Structure 1
């Protein structure tokens, strides 16, 4: 049986609505940031200035694959994707709007789960579209690489991932 707090009248062990909303918002923001941080290591000197190049890199969300690339290959991917900067800006603006829509839905009283869910779905669609562009550019770059370059990339990727694998099952 659960115990009831005599001062609040709430049952111990139940999570309050505000905590659930905060956790949901935190999860959404963390997912957004995770995707953006994945490409944060891609850097260099863009046509549009350092800030824009980093923005493009973050948008790609390649994570450890981006870190395993040689600098020249990363730069080529950024250049390839960055050729259509207006489309990228549109995707990023849509992602921002979806995130703001989620924040508005979380703030609504009473809480509108359907609106929050719809905003997260819009957000997810934008993240997936941007990541697909990054993956396409990565595959395009891999096609330009020699077998030895691809093998070296693969080795760096596996090494990076091995650092996160627990226990004795490491390579």
Structure 2
């Protein structure tokens, strides 16, 4: 009979590998969400347009009327939007590669996150400019109605966090 003490112990995954796998899964789900959001025209709540959320409009995506949503989308430079979305996706893929590198390549991960942040800020800048341009076309009554819908949207979003 063989000596049980002499038998090699099975290799165990290190904590870093498990963390990297979890982050990889999270990134893959994030990319899937971005792609699904870009493909879908309207979110599950009817007025919540994922394309507007991608532009950093947050609760305004819920508060804008359908006509105003269309107008905001129409104000966006589609080529620039496509470029920034591609840059965001590419930076997330680069981050994934940095997470899988052994040893962990912090500098590559940091650079990928910086590129991701720059692309997200560019998208948000486009969205905010288009939103402000659209709000600039509204009269006082339309802005007040938007403010009321924004307040309701914020209450709805706050209720989800409970």
For normalisation by structure 1, the TM-score amounts to: 0.68
Structure 1 partner of 2:151 = 158
Distance 1:69 1:36, change over 3 A: farther
Structure 2 partner of 1:60 = 55
Distance 1:156 1:56, change over 3 A: closer
What is the aligned counterpart of 1:75 among 67, 70, 73? 70
| Alignment: residue pair count | 144
Gaps of 5+ in 1: 1-6, 44-53, 167-171
* Matched ranges for 1:11-160 at <5 A: 16-25=15-24, 43=42, 57=52, 59-81=54-76, 84-160=77-153
Distance 1:26 1:127, change over 3 A: farther
Tell me the distance in 2 between the aligned counterparts of 1:130 and 1:109. Answer: 32
Tell me the distance in 2 between the aligned counterparts of 1:149 and 1:128. Answer: 28
Q: What SS is found at the alignment partner of 1:163?
A: helix
Tell me the distance in 2 between the aligned counterparts of 1:73 and 1:151. Answer: 14
User: Quick check: 65-74 or 85-94, which moved more?
Assistant: 85-94
Q: What SS is found at the alignment partner of 1:141?
A: helix
Q: Please give the root-mean-square deviation of Cα atoms over the aligned residues, in Å.
A: 3.3
Gaps of 5+ in 2: 1-8, 43-48
Flag the structure with more relative contact order, 1 or 2, with Cα contacts below 8 A and sequence separation at least 6: 2
Tell me the distance in 1 between the aligned counterparts of 2:39 and 2:60. Answer: 12
Tell me the distance in 2 between the aligned counterparts of 1:133 and 1:93. Answer: 15
For normalisation by structure 2, the TM-score amounts to: 0.71
